[in-house]
Every structure is written in structure tokens, then in C-alpha cells.
Structure 1
Amino acid sequence: MATILVVDDELGIRALLSEILADEGHTIELAENAAQARACRERIRPDLVLLDIWMPDVDGITLLKEWGATGQLTMPVIMMSGHGTIDTAVEAIKFGAMAFLEKPITLQKLLRAVEQGLAKPAAGRGAPAAPAATTHTNGEASLTVEAAMTGGAMLPSPPLMLGPQAEQSFDLDRPLREARDSFEKSYFEFHLAQENGSMTRVAEKTGLERTHLYRKLKQLGVDLSRGKRNGGGGGGA
């Protein structure tokens, strides 16, 4: 697995991306500004960097240019922004970024971009990307930019059904919200156990976008380590 540096001034974004990528088996380093990012890059030489554009001291594009100009852009860099445009994405690609992810970042786009970034050879990454990667038609950029800029729609939720191994009774003589939350908590705990605590597989099986799934589990008070401690609950590999 890879060592990934996440650079973002928002604590929540750093924590969320760290959880997701660590769950995929990667080693995660965090930085909240350009100064910390520079230090981390020198100290750990990451295999890939997720770099936010809007930061209070030095913005991500400036840092990207700096790394490129000094021959330090030896790793793939994926830019992130909640206020991005096609022009911003094109600029990022021009100065050496391999992709541009628009916040809120969907699970599918994040994991796909990381997988593609880690598959690229490190050699030659000090030079700006080829201009062909920045072309766009009818408002849609080429594969690299388009994959980052188009928002990922949340998948529809499947019917809430518990398997036969997780049959249990519910107290229906209470407010609807409480009854629903109790049922949903049991539903997600069941799938976490089945999938050995893998958030990726639970997201795929339940049809929820992963960031939404994390928020839902925390809201319901689900113990995210329970599935792994129980060894999969007799379920998924």
C-alpha cells in the first residue's frame, strides 16, 4: 500500500479522507498548510499527494508550481477544491497535477483518482502535464479533468432488509424517528459485521455514497470498529 499526504486546512476534510484512505490500507500523513506540506514532503517522500487549492497562507496551485519549478514534483498530485471551475482544473493540470477533485468528493471519484495516480510511474512527473490532458468540449474536460469536475450523484438506497442471520424484534410503540433510527442502526451494524468492518464494501452493498455513510453511522452511534473486532460476523471477505 502507499503513503499518501493529505493537505487541507479543514480539519473535517483531513479526518474524513484519512479515515477513507486508511480503511483502504494506505498510510496517511496530514498537513493543514503549505509549510507543513513542504516539511512532510521532505520527511516522508509520499507516493501521492491530495492537495487543497484554497489555503490561508500559500494556496495549492502556488505550492504545486513551486514543487514543479524546483524539481520536487516527483509524485502524483491530485488537487481538491469546493469552488473549482473548469479553468481552475485546467490550470492545475497544466502545472503538473494529474487530476482535480471537486468537493464534496464522492467515494467513487476519490478512490478512482487515487488508484490511477498510484498506477502512474513517478519518473518524469517534474514536468508539466501534456496539454492534451486539459482540452475540453461542450463544457466537459478530457478524462482527467472531467472525472474530477462532474459531481457524483448519490446512489439510491436499497430496500432496508435484514438478513435471516440478523433477525430481531423492534419496539414499535414509540415515535417513528426513534423506531427508524433503531432499525437503521441494526441494519448497518449487520452489514459492517458481514463485511468485516470495510466501509468500502458496506457503501457498495447498501448503495450509499461513502461520505454520507460515515455521517449516517456517526449520527446513529454505530461503533465502526465493531465489525473488525468480531471478525466479520460470519460474513464477507
Structure 2
Amino acid sequence: MIIGNILIIDDESINAEAIKDTLEDVNYNVVLAADAQQAKIIVKKQTFDLIMMDVWMPGQDGMSLLEEWMSAGFSTPVVMMSGHAEHQDVVKAIKLGAVDFLKKPLHDILPLVRKLLAEKINDDKLKIGGINFDLPLKAVRNIFEAQYFEHHLAQNNHNIAKVAELAGLERTTLYRKLKDLGIDKK
């Protein structure tokens, strides 16, 4: 079972293959790109949970590709990598939108990848319906029910009989629920 899709953009094939082997051993699907041009083509065809990109590559460098993607609204987390990074490179990458900056050669990459993908999964879960899943169940249920009833009331021109039928409730029960949730019936 694949647990995540990762794109590695690095012109040093030995480094890229080593990371790929490590990640594939624990069921990540890894795609390699040797440069920015190849990465752009791959990203148009496939979605990834994480992108790991070298700073220094022939042709377009990693920083300018990161800047290009971020200014286009790219939402996939990007980790920058370099064997000879200056402090200003790290700062620039983070300001541009990279989630991390790693010094090559990479050692013990799995904990970092697991952490980054766990954060992405948690962020995605928190975005479902705008509900904060850290709230108690009753509060989350009330938020969901309010969204559910407001949606169906709007879709059905505030026809209580129709919404009650859709929800599988008696009209009196629906009236009481709407009142408890603070929803205007009109």
C-alpha cells in the first residue's frame, strides 16, 4: 500500500536514487526529475504529497522554480536541499514558501518525511467543512448539523417540509433542532 507520493528534483542521480530507495523501502511512491523542466512536465500530469528539490541544478535553479510555483499558488509542500547552502539561501527558501531546507547528503530522511506528510494529512483533515476536529464531539456535531440544515434550507427555498423529509425528521423535531442550533427558519 502506497502511503504517499513524493517527487525528488535533483540533477545528482546518485543522491536522488539513494533517497528514492530509502523511501520506497517503506512504501512511498517516488518519482525522480533531473531538472526543473522535467519537474514541470511531471507536476502537470501527477499530484504529489511532497516535493524535495535541489537548489543548484543546470538550467533553471531550484530557488527560481520554487518562486515560480509559489507565485502561481502551488500548494504542495516543498523541501529544498543543498550540499553547500549559505544562510541566506535557507532564509530565502523559507520566505518563498519552502517548508524546510536540508543539507546534503541527507541522513535519516524518514522521520522528516513522515512528520511533513503527517502535518499535511492533519491540515487536510482540519479543512473538511471548516470544522476543528480538536473540539468535543457534541460541538463538532452541532457545527456539522448547522451547516447541513443551512445548506438544505437555502437549496429548498426554506421549505421546512422538504428539509424535514430530506433529513428524515418530523417537522416538529426539525423546528426544535433549528432553534437549538440558532438557525433562522425563514
Same fold (TM over 0.5): yes
The aligned counterpart of 2:98 is 97
**One-letter code aligned to 1:12:** I
How far does the alpha carbon of each residue in 1:36-94 deviate from its partner, in whole angstroms, 9 at most, with x for none? Answer: 111111111111001000001001010000001111x2111110000112221111111
**Aligned partner (choices 20, 23, 35) of residue 18 of structure 1:** 20
The aligned counterpart of 1:37 is 39
Give matches, 1:129-148, under 5 Å: none
Runs of 4+ off more than 4 Å: none
- Does residue 119 in structure 1 map to residue 115 in structure 2? no
Query: In 1, Cα distance between the equivalents of 2:88 and 2:80?
Result: 13
Give matches, 1:171-210, under 5 Å: none
**One-letter code aligned to 2:117:** L
The aligned counterpart of 1:162 is none
* Larger Rg, first or second structure (1 or 2): 2
CA RMSD, Structure 1 to Structure 2 (Å): 1.6
Query: In 2, Cα distance between the equivalents of 1:121 and 1:6?
Result: 18
TM-score, with structure 2 as normaliser: 0.62
Alignment identity in percent?
A: 38
Give matches, 1:154-233, under 5 Å: none
**SS class of match (1:75):** coil
Query: In 2, Cα distance between the equivalents of 1:121 and 1:28?
Result: 17
Query: In 2, Cα distance between the equivalents of 1:87 and 1:12?
Result: 27
The aligned counterpart of 2:80 is 79
Query: In 1, Cα distance between the equivalents of 2:118 and 2:95?
Result: 20
| Structure 2 residue ranges without an equivalent (≥5) | 125-186
**One-letter code aligned to 1:49:** I
**SS class of match (1:68):** helix
The aligned counterpart of 1:56 is 58
The aligned counterpart of 2:10 is 8
CA contact (8 A) 1:78 1:113 kept: no
